[in-house]
Amino acid sequence: MPAHCYDYAVIRVVPRVEREEFINAGVILSCQERDFLAALVELPEARLRALDGAADVAAVRRHLESIPVICAGGAAAGAIGQLTRRERFHWLVAPRSTLIQTSAVHTGCCVDLQQTLERLLTVLVRGS
């Protein structure tokens, strides 16, 4: 099986933007060659509460859960869901100063994109 190059970004929760502290809460992976765009999210609630005991966990969870919907596209994702996969990826990783941010975009190569997405979540979010 041939390897495919991909781009990915880590999804970060920044509960208090002015403090510039964050926790990793997911990964977005895009492969233009395979027309692939997907995200996995997992909110480490204890780490979030450690940074901000007053954080609105339900609101954070809602924001995070919208990311895989946007990746999937279609009507459920609203106007952004009508963009191409590549355009949605660029929209998701555009710099923002909000509660949900992403890391810089990184590149890699792999054979199995879904397996790589899951491995990145394990390493970068779960810390395993």
pTM for this structure?
Answer: 0.94
Q: CA 40, CA 67: separation in Å to the nearest integer?
A: 8
Structure tokens at 118: 């899951």
Segment 4-57, tens digit of pLDDT:
999 999 999 999 988 889 999 999 999 999 999 999 999 999 999 999 999 999
Residue 74, phi then psi, degrees to nearest 5: 90, -175
Domains of the chain by residue range? 4-123
Segment 58-97, tens digit of pLDDT:
999 999 999 999 999 999 999 999 999 999 999 999 988 8
Structure tokens at 121: 């979540």
